[in-house]
């Protein structure tokens, strides 16, 4: 039996993780910074916020739009987390934090 049949939430959780990964990639989130913040707890909390987010369809629609200069969507509960990771974006849009 496949995992999605045994655990109905498994597929939803996996899809939400992929959605967050896509958002991080689109925004140019520094992944190493993301997983190091607060010894990894900030990333765990961000995953939980994404998993529990009520704006999945808005997120998917935003990610499907042609991106010029990416900016953080207002509806995203992880906007502050992404910003704290030092966003670069596809166009080197901004950088707020760096690890030395």
Q: Is the pLDDT higher at 91 or at 93?
A: 93
- pLDDT per residue over 45-69, tens digit each? 999 999 999 999 999 999 988 875 5
8-27 helix and 41-51 helix, angle to the nearest 10 degrees: 120
Instruction: Tell me the β-bridge partners of 87.
Output: 29
Indicate the range of 7-11, 46-50, 63-67, 89-93 predicted with least confidence.
89-93
Q: Where are the domains of the chain?
A: 8-84
Confidence of residue 3 (pLDDT cuts 50, 70, 90): low
Residues contacting residue 3 through CB under 8 Å, at least 6 positions apart: 10
- Total-model pTM: 0.74
């Amino acid at each position: 039996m496949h995992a999605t049949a045994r655990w109905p939430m498994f597929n939803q959780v996996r899809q939400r993780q992929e959605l967050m990964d896509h958002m991080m990639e689109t925004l140019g989130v520094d992944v190493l910074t993301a997983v190091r913040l607060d010894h990894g707890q900030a990333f765990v909390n961000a995953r939980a916020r994404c998993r529990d987010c009520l704006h999945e369809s808005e997120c998917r629609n935003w990610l499907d739009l042609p991106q010029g200069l990416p900016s953080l969507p207002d509806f995203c509960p992880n906007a502050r987390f992404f910003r704290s990771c030092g966003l670069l974006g596809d166009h080197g849009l901004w950088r707020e934090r760096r690890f030395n």
